[in-house]
Amino acid sequence: MEFIISRTKRSFEFNMAASHWHPCYELFYLVSGHCRIIINHTLYYIEPGDLILIAPGEIHRTTHYSSPVNERITLSFDREYLEPFIKQCGNELADYVFRSSKVSIPAGRQAFAEELIKKMEYEAAGQDGYSRFMMHNYLYEFLVFLSRCQETKPEPVKLGVAEKAIEEAAEYIYNHYSSQITLEEVADRIHMSPAYFSRKFKAVTGFGYKEYLTNIRIREASELLLNTSKSITEIAVECGFGDGNYFGDAFKKIKGVAPRAYRNMQGMI
């Protein structure tokens, strides 16, 4: 994949696919409606005019609240697509664009942002031999625009007490995935009963407790499979899986192939 742009409407009943992280960059601009997203372990409320930046490998999931339908525009691209931008500006400035996960585009600048998006949609249809060149230019202009929008940050949305507790729980799970943590342990940390915590975690994040923990563990295991020579068993233990067979089953369910095959294929699945 190099660059994909799509415009979709999603209903309250929509559920994201089983895998909740990917090796590409993803931006999505909310045109209408309202939704909430968890990125790694942080919750964000999204209003029309907000844009979310998701870097490769970041676990995320959107949930809906207050509106039955939302319309979004999604841009996906890999790091290779950014190479000319990185070559011109350097890695530091390229990464600087993604310093915040949420950008609230000022009301007076939303028309400019939406016009740039329309230009990208037009060129993505492959109008002529110039389209690929124009596509790059509009994307790079859009990234610089987003980076500059972050210079003035709006007041953050204050989470409710229960949501703040769920965010705290998600952060704890995110940072202790390698331990044998249990739902009961996490619920106790934020002073909720296990049953209430389980329901609230799912309602706020869109993830079940076990689903969220497993996704974090599999993401870390994927990195170790590709970037170390550690054995499958060592990786399973390091990532919190007490049983190698369970690790293999969980990995295949999320990634579609067994750990050894994933390593042999260098993650190209």
Question: CA 114 to CA 240: how far, in whole Å?
Answer: 44
Tell me the pLDDT tens digit for each residue of 176-216.
Answer: 999 999 999 999 999 999 999 999 999 999 999 999 999 99
Give domain status of residue 260, yes or no: yes
DSSP state of 3: E
Tell me the CB-side half-sphere exposure of residue 194, using CA atoms within 13 A. Answer: 5
Tell me, yes or no, whether 128 and 177 share the same domain: no
| Count of domains for the chain | 2
Tell me, yes or no, whether 116 and 182 share the same domain: no
Tell me, yes or no, whether 122 and 206 share the same domain: no
Pick left, alpha or beta for residue 16 (phi over 0 → left; psi -120 to 50 → alpha; otherwise beta). beta
Tell me, yes or no, whether 137 and 169 share the same domain: no
pLDDT confidence bin for 64, thresholds 50/70/90 = confident
Tell me, yes or no, whether 123 and 190 share the same domain: no
Query: Which residue is it, tokens 């601009």?
Result: 29
Last residue of a domain, one of 149, 178, 197: 149
pLDDT of the residue at 13: 58
DSSP state of 108: G
Tokens of 184: 């009961």
Q: Are 268 and 225 in contact (CB under 8 A)?
A: no
Which of 15-29, 46-60, 130-144 is predicted least confidently?
15-29
Tell me, yes or no, whether 33 and 134 share the same domain: yes
Give domain status of residue 68, yes or no: yes
Give domain status of residue 154, yes or no: no
Does pLDDT of 10 surpass 90? no
Give domain status of residue 223, yes or no: yes
DSSP letters spanning 64-82? E-S-SEEEEEEEEE-GGGG
Closest to 254 measured CA to CA, from 7, 17, 19, 10: 19
CATH number at residue 133: 2.60.120.280
**Full residue range of the structural domain in which residue 41 is found:** 3-149
Q: Are 264 and 258 in contact (CB under 8 A)?
A: no
Last residue of a domain, one of 101, 117, 149: 149
CATH number at residue 213: 1.10.10.60
Give domain status of residue 61, yes or no: yes
Tell me, yes or no, whether 133 and 171 share the same domain: no
Give domain status of residue 269, yes or no: no
Last residue of a domain, one of 116, 149, 182: 149
Tell me, yes or no, whether 110 and 195 share the same domain: no
Tell me, yes or no, whether 49 and 135 share the same domain: yes
Does pLDDT of 246 surpass 80? yes
Q: Are 35 and 63 in contact (CB under 8 A)?
A: yes
pLDDT of the residue at 154: 62
